[in-house]
Structure 1
């Protein structure tokens, strides 16, 4: 049975970036919650033993496929005192070396746990541990010595001392500062030095120049060439292929904007129809010839595309089914300011989008704003607020989770599997 069909999980999950001193995204951590936090405020999220030894967060990793993360980044998956004994290798469909099993202090340094940790290490998994106090470092030495990362609460650690200690005792363990709440905190921690990676609520979109370039997807261009060079090709089919690539969509809408002022574009199909077969074919052949040799998509492309498909998938639960294509464009262009390195209003003036999209992206108002706000809270793993919004709007948790997994799977399936 497909993992995507297992709807009994009642879970929410998202990917949170881990980044370095240059704000380059180096890895992701799966943040999950298996209950509605608003209805169950005392529930503690994280990997959970359900009697079958299932690590539910691996469902997200399998749906996503780490091969689609730009640069083949690692993914941190939380495990606890129960799920550490699960048959992880049977649940994980991605290479073990790309998975970092993130342990917590429920896993104690007894012989049983130390043996299991060493087994997982021998199977090729990377390991990390969190929620340890300074007093735990010595008792946990057999477990820490097997780890690739240790996550530290930077507010409770004197990093200058920690750097010396770990450099001497565990020279191969990378230090990760968690709960970095502001840009100012991040800058201070950078200045002090010592941390290899950071996780912070202020940072959810990559801003490093090399990460924000809007690169094409080669497979889409080849597919598009085949479509438009067929005799009497289907405009809708071409539009659907264009919709898989932000670089193509931006270029298309810029062209339509120059041709048709004051015309609200509500879908990519609409834009393609306005251009017509002859002009669309001429533009595609030019764009494909120019871009076919470009590298794999950047991190910002990946995030924008997943957000776009997630927005489209939420159209039903938010009772905006008729606007699904428009919501896709809204999600895609929600990072266009970063893509083009311009203020949002100026960036949107380069393309032709509807008033609903402009209102949501520029002023956070209008019909689409609540859905965009929901997505942003979801991406932040703000489960309390996400759960509150689901209760208020009578939105089913399964539908939200399925829409997110489908977005990951859709993006994964854009690439030929090696």
Structure 2
């Protein structure tokens, strides 16, 4: 099993829902599934297995999850495959589900059971023939490049006033900005939120400079605990977070100073906590999905270390994941951003040049995040990776993030 989540944003860059995409088989080890991977197991909806195993609290922070169904699986006993509330699940249909009586009847049944419904991959000429199905839908996913949103909005407001319009394939920040300015869509899906920064004239804020100083202290070999504690002392949020952690560790000990707290944690744990806490703070003025992205990416990279025969390098892979969006955090091109912080040379080579063993891990993770299962399968074959271990590595990263930021 492989699975990943794709966020859907509103016009404030807040995540409103996630689409879950899963694959049961390795494409290269099971070539017969090419072009028909969605239909393996016919009535089995593997995405629902993921949702049920993880629960919406861990998987999506309690937000709705879009789950693809096809012309076979829509007739399965969906309620038996899904253990989460029906109202949190959006069944995502496509044009393989035809506007015929058997499908229309089934759509009405599912709506009656409390599931939300969405439609994708329809052409403009399909809107009228699909009238009975669309009248039951809560969302429709539209390719923004192939539609006049003003006309579409008028049409849907008139004919299907209950339906929310979702723009898909929004690949750049410029596209997102233009679409939100026009105001025609309710939700937006695409890779725009993680696009690299090409150039910037902005100065890094003084608070972020303090965070960078702290990163540089702890990412030097054999860093000094006292020096790290003194830098932590400049930021109240980090002080509070550190004291909360240490107080849980030492219930019967009185923490007398920040330096005392740092010494209680020890060099290894303090370094790990600082890298994680500082990354979270660097993302605080960005969409919350950036924090989620880099945190899960970091833990996923660490969890994949053994599969890539890099078990001894797991801590550095964790840092690579955290810093993989450093350009977005600092609003600087990646080369400039990395010049500001101390990072291991292998991390720098992966992030800047796409070279070395770490780059293989990063490229794998990016393909995984995009649900590019063909490329993911190809890499798993080349690296002799076990699919179940990859899946567990991803689920482990989701659980870790849930426990790290429970309020998310």
Provide, for residues 246-291 of structure 1, a one-character-per-residue CA deviation record: whole Å limited to 9, x for no partner: 6525599x9xxxxxxxxxxxxxxxxxxxxxxxxxxxxxxxxxxxxx
Name the structure 2 match of 1:381: 371
1:20-169 residue pairs with structure 2 within 5 A?
20-38=10-28, 40=31, 43-44=34-35, 47-48=38-39, 50=41, 53-68=43-58, 72-169=62-159
Gap change, CA 1:189 and 1:298, over 3 Å in 2: closer
SS at match of 1:138: coil
1:226 and 2:226 are equivalent in the alignment: no
Gap change, CA 1:131 and 1:251, over 3 Å in 2: closer
1:244-259 residue pairs with structure 2 within 5 A?
247-248=276-277
Indicate if the aligned counterparts of 1:242 and 1:248 stay in contact, CA closer than 8 A: no
SS at match of 1:319: coil
Higher helix proportion: 2
Provide, for residues 219-239 of structure 1, a one-character-per-residue CA deviation record: whole Å limited to 9, x for no partner: 997454211455499967996
Name the structure 2 match of 1:332: 322
**TM-score when scaled to structure 2?**
0.73
Name the structure 1 match of 2:395: 405
Unaligned runs of 5+ in 1: 1-10, 208-212, 255-293
Unaligned runs of 5+ in 2: 198-207, 212-236, 255-260
Q: Which residue among 311, 324, 332 is the counterpart of 1:321?
A: 311
Indicate if the aligned counterparts of 2:3 and 2:22 stay in contact, CA closer than 8 A: yes
How far apart are the structure 1 equivalents of 2:118 and 2:274?
A: 35
SS at match of 2:114: coil
1:170 and 2:192 are equivalent in the alignment: no
The structure showing larger relative contact order (alpha-carbon pairs under 8 Å, at least 6 residues apart) is 1
**TM-score when scaled to structure 1?**
0.72
Gap change, CA 1:249 and 1:194, over 3 Å in 2: closer
The CA deviation at 1:241 is 8.8
Indicate if the aligned counterparts of 1:219 and 1:415 stay in contact, CA closer than 8 A: no
